[in-house]
Amino acid sequence: MKRLTSRTVAFLITGAWMLCIPGLEAQAAPSGQSSTATGQNSEASVDRSVTLLREDLQSKKKQLIAANLELTSEEATKFWPVYDQYSAELRKLGDQRYALIKEYANAYGSLTNDQALSLTKRSLALDDQVAQLRSKYVPIMNQVLPGTKTATFFQLDRYINSLIDLQLASQIPLVQDQK
């Protein structure tokens, strides 16, 4: 079994994150194009970059789980479809989180107390939904895996997602720092 080390995960996450950075830079508008069109092009570029980043992270996450969750061929046959279903539901919550981050980024610099509080409450509600999703899938995973492997999967899932969340959080400025 390959060991999941923080260095391995950090390397993969950082590498994937670096793929996104060139797409996040503002693009200069060709002469004659309005700043609104430039903003839309830039936002579309960021959305494309984030989509690619998320796909890459999902692929790397699946590879890390495959390398660290010791499954028999029979277990793997049953596990991966359930994993894919779980990941699809988790991805929908990730879409909502991305929408919140975009909303925060768009309002950053002029964020009101009410907006900040609303974003905080909605972010915490998403955290609750992720916890509920994990709780929902524990018995489902346990139908296809023994208890120790179910627990190992959720350990790996939390560990990898925590590292991704940490990397993401390090890129988001604090509310109080807006000028």
Question: Tens digit of pLDDT for each residue in 66-99?
Answer: 999 999 999 999 999 999 999 999 999 999 999 9
Helix/strand/coil for 25: coil
Give the confidence band of 40 by pLDDT, cuts at 50, 70, 90: low
Nearest CA to 14 out of 164, 174, 169 is that of 164
Buried b / exposed e along 113-128 (16+ C-beta atoms within 10 A): eeeeeebeeeeeebee
Mean pLDDT of the 127-142 span? 98
Q: Name the residue type at position 35.
A: S
Sign of CA dihedral 22, 106, 131, 168: positive
C-alpha 101/C-alpha 127 separation (Å) is: 14
pLDDT at position 17 is 44
C-alpha 159/C-alpha 166 separation (Å) is: 11
Is pLDDT above 90 for 156?
yes
Cβ atoms of residues 149 and 161 within 8 Å:
no
pLDDT at position 99 is 93
H or E element in which residue 173 lies: none
Q: Name the residue type at position 163.
A: L
C-alpha 41/C-alpha 139 separation (Å) is: 44
Measured at the CA of 57, the angle between CA 55 and CA 58, to 5 degrees, comes to 65
